[in-house]
Homo-oligomer: A and B are copies of this chain.
Amino acid sequence: MFVRTVAWVSTLPRTIQQMLEHPPAVGSRLQVAGHVKSIRKFKNIGFLDLSDGSTYKTLPIVFRHPDQVLAQYDLKVGQSLEISGDLAESKGVQSFEVTFDPADDSHHLKIIGNVQDSYPIQKKETSLQFLRSIPILRHRTSTLASVLRLRSFLEHELNVFFAEHSFTKVTPPMITSSDCEGGGEQFTIEPLNPKEVVKDGMAVKHEFFGKPAYLTVSTQLHLEVLAPSLNRVWTLTPCFRAEDSNTNRHLSEFWMLEAEISYISQLSQLTRFTEVMIRHLTSQLSNNREDVLNSRYNKADRELIEVRWNSILAENDWPVITYDEAINLINQVKLKGRSKGRLAWGDSISTEDEKWLAGDHFHSPVFITDYPKSQKPFYMPHSKNYNISAPTVACFDLIFPFIGELIGGSLREDNYEVLVAEMNRRNMDLVEMDWYLSTRLNGSVPHGGFGMGLERLMLYLSGLENVRDVVTFPRAPETCDC
């Protein structure tokens, strides 16, 4: 790890989080700013809960003469205020509060941003579904702000984790001319105002990049080019799929963590590494839950999360089974005594069956390895125990309870001739893929990697159910509000 020195001081104001962590002395004058989360009025005293977004915790403001104060300032939930008052000890949730006295000329209260009467986020519980209808304001709720803090926390911990494991973070391109992996579900891009060129006497659109260009569906092939130069690379980038399905699991734009590791030739090195990665993240999250999780989660939600986190952190290594074993378990345990719905070798394992395996059978994340070759892409090498009558490849899916597939990965075929033969078998365009193939002719190294949808992990860790709730502004068919 790197040497660090501490440094220059910025002049940003103190946040409520910083004040709560290092409270000023009782009796001192405090100036705070934030949004009104709630107003409570009693006969002789009133309370405001103020949030500035730096933490889910609110700062209590206490004032006498509540009728006078509320009328004079026309205070409402959602307004942003600037208040100066005195710091006092508190017996409430926080250890201190700010008292505002309208009769004290040295105190002040100012509305710095008013709200419309229709301001939709009130103290009463609002459903996540309703919040999806107000994309511009929904992150003012402590639940969804907290989800964004969780995301930031996970990203920070991923940076630390990969640096500790000697990875270089790289930024492969989002725009690609390679369309072999998209299965026709890419987006194409072109300039809003394309130039025209004359071709055979006709004015035709000029291709900006000199060829068709797409938004990436996976950065894997580019990572495979970079990995031999840097040994281990990872990235966390947007990926794009023009899939025309509106579900609570799919987005047109999502964030993928992808990693490629050189000089490995055992599938178990990959499964172990991903297990260590998820255990690390969850353990860090568990250690820092008070800073990351918000107060909204009620007891049932908290217990749900606890169960989920504990299943990750269980002492035993996560089970690793082959596709063949998975099929057998589904047929012999899940479908015991039933003749309908049984799986034949070569069938896909449905998300429902995945959830059964992880959630009901193992009560744990579980790796399924060595899937049939026909279900997987061209770049996966044969399994160690290759059987020509039931051909499988050296790959794995990591299956989570409630979620199904969280991570998919494999070793990558590093032999040029084998790769070309397989691509020919699949009628792929070798010229188009020459750039990728050329790595196998110039100091090829054994390697493997994996990809994980960050939003899926967030769903599992947060207990939320709709992927649209764990991104800032979801993109999906008919959904691109701003």
Is A93 engaged at the interface, CB distance under 8 Å to the other chain?
no
A69-108 interface code vs B (CB 8 A; 1 in, 0 out): 0000000001110000000000000000000000000000
Q: What CA separation (Å) do A136 and B226 show in the bound complex?
A: 8
How far, in angstroms, from A13 to B237 measured CA to CA in the complex?
26
Tell which of A150-158, A196-204, A337-345 binds the partner.
Answer: A150-158
**Any B CB within 8 A of the CB of A30:** no
In this assembly, does A463 line the interface, its C-beta being within 8 Å of a C-beta of chain B?
no
Report how far A35 CA is from B304 CA in the complex, Å: 49
Instruction: Tell me, rounded to whole Å, the shortest Cβ–Cβ distance linking A331 to chain B.
Output: 32
Say yes or no: is A358 at the interface (Cβ < 8 Å to chain B).
no
Residues of B within 8 A of A24 (CB): none
Given contact pairs A136-B438, A139-B226, A210-B480, a sample of 7 additional A-B residue pairs in the complex whose CB atoms are under 8 Å apart: A4-B287, A17-B166, A78-B442, A176-B482, A189-B240, A209-B479, A215-B215
Determine the chain B residues whose CB is within 8 A of the CB of A268 once the complex forms. Answer: 11
Total residues of chain A contacting the partner, CB 8 A: 138
Chain B: minimal CB distance from A125 (Å): 18
Q: Are B136 and A253 interface neighbours, CB within 8 A?
A: no
Contact B33 A208 (CB under 8 A): no
Measured CA separation A113–B481 after assembly (Å): 50
Please give, as numbers and ranges, the residues of chain B lying within 8 Å of A263 by CB-CB distance.
13, 33, 52
A-B interface, 8 closest residue pairs, ranked by CB to CB distance from nearest: A113-B444, A191-B242, A139-B229, A53-B231, A209-B480, A435-B482, A54-B231, A210-B478
Smallest Cβ distance from A48 to chain B, in angstroms? Answer: 13
Chain B residues positioned under 8 Å from A52 (CB to CB): 231, 262-263
A264 interface contact, C-beta 8 A: yes
In the docked arrangement, what's the CA distance between A280 and B145, Å? 28
B-facing residues in A250-289 (Cβ within 8 Å): 252-253, 255, 261-264, 266, 268-269, 272-273, 275-276, 279-280, 283-284, 287-288
| Smallest CB gap from A237: residue in B | B238
B7 in contact with A283 (CB, 8 Å): yes
Interface membership of A211, Cβ < 8 A: yes
Set of chain B residues within 8 Å of A7, measured between Cβ atoms: 276, 279-280, 283
CA distance A242 to B208 in the complex (A): 8
User: A242's closest neighbor in chain B, by CB?
Assistant: B191
User: Are A275 and B8 in contact, with the CB atoms below 8 A?
Assistant: yes
Does A377 sit at the interface, judged by CB under 8 A? Answer: no
User: A388 near B: Cβ within 8 Å?
Assistant: no
Q: CB-CB < 8 A to A319: which residues of B?
A: none
| A193→B189 contact, CB < 8 A | no
B residues near A65, Cβ cutoff 8 Å: none
Give the shortest distance, in Å, between A108 (CB) and chain B (any CB).
Answer: 16
Chain A 143-173 residues near chain B, CB threshold 8 A: 144-145, 148-149, 151-153, 155-157, 159-160, 163, 165-166, 168-173
CB < 8 Å: which of B10, B226, B272 contacts A272? Answer: B10
Q: Is A291 an interface residue (CB 8 A)?
A: yes
Whether A195 is near chain B, meaning CB under 8 Å from some CB there, is yes
The complex places the Cα of A30 from the Cα of B208 at a distance, in Å, of: 51
Smallest beta-carbon distance A234→chain B, Å: 9
Let me know if B10 and A273 touch, CB within 8 A: yes
Q: How far is the CA of A55 from the CA of B272 in the complex (A)?
A: 24
- Which B residue's beta carbon lies closest to that of A278? B8
List the B residue with the shortest CB-CB distance to A21. B166
Is A444 a contact of B13 with CB atoms below 8 Å? no
B166 touches A152 (CB 8 A): no
Question: Does A477 sit at the interface, judged by CB under 8 A?
Answer: yes
Partner of A211, one of B144, B240, B480: B480
Answer yes or no: A232 CB below 8 A from chain B CBs. yes
Which residues of the partner chain B approach A45 to less than 8 Å between Cβ atoms?
Answer: none
**CB contact under 8 A between A189 and B192, given known A225-B136, A442-B116:** no
Shortest distance between the CB of A7 and any CB in chain B (Å): 5
CA distance A137 to B283 in the complex (A): 39
- The answer for the CA separation of A445 and B82 in the assembled complex, in Å, is 10
- A359-367, A368-376, A378-386, A468-476 - interface stretch: A468-476
Partner of A477 from the list B80, B209, B242, B440 (CB cut-off 8 Å) is B209
| A112 engages B445 (CB within 8 Å) | yes
Does A80 contact B170, Cβ atoms closer than 8 Å?
Answer: no
A222 at the interface (CB under 8 A from B): yes
CB distance from A453 to the nearest CB of B (A): 13
Asked if A119 CB lies within 8 Å of chain B CBs, one says yes
